Amino acid sequence: MSAATTVELSALSPGDLDAVHGLEIDSSPDPWSRELLAGELDGDRADRLWLVAAVGRGRRRRIVGFGGVLLVVDDVHVMNLVVAPGQRRRRVASRLLASLLLAAGDRGATAATLEVRTDNVAAIELYRRFGFEVAGRRPRYYADGADAEIMWCHGLYRPDVRARLRTLGGLE
């Protein structure tokens, strides 16, 4: 990738909310509201970590993805992972997911969980590559009645798992 197309990760900031919300609307049949996303930044939210993926700099900076996790004792819940339709299959989701899971591991998380639409084959494939396994199903989990797979990944503290995350995320 050239410097112009390098994806940079940074913490989600209030100035990113319009772009992030736009991606959410474009990518989800049941998008989070802007207010809900803004609420993730309110106050001291040490139990949350949100990252954005952007290309370009300054006025040319364009957010192409974002993700967020919730830390609960020694587990991390992947709340959201979104990549702009035109940026999919370019490792943006892999960089975001690896970075979020590694940071959660640094904060003491030993396992990660998430729910994913059963019809979101690309996302399920991504999560499987990262070591997530289906552990159950939530019938009619989404507002449109779609089911969700419950997936788990264990061993975030293990050196081999952390090395795999770095490799999959292109973070080496």
With 0.85 as the threshold, say if the pTM is over it: yes
- Distance between CA atoms of residues 52 and 41, nearest Å: 13
What is the number of domains present in the chain? 1
Give me the domain span that covers residue 108. 3-168
pLDDT digits over 15-61, tens only?
A: 999 999 999 999 888 899 999 999 998 877 789 999 999 998 878 88
- Distance between CA atoms of residues 134 and 117, nearest Å: 12
Give the CATH number of the domain where residue 129 resides.
Answer: 3.40.630.30
pLDDT digits over 69-127, tens only?
A: 999 999 999 999 999 988 888 899 999 999 999 999 999 999 999 999 999 999 999 99
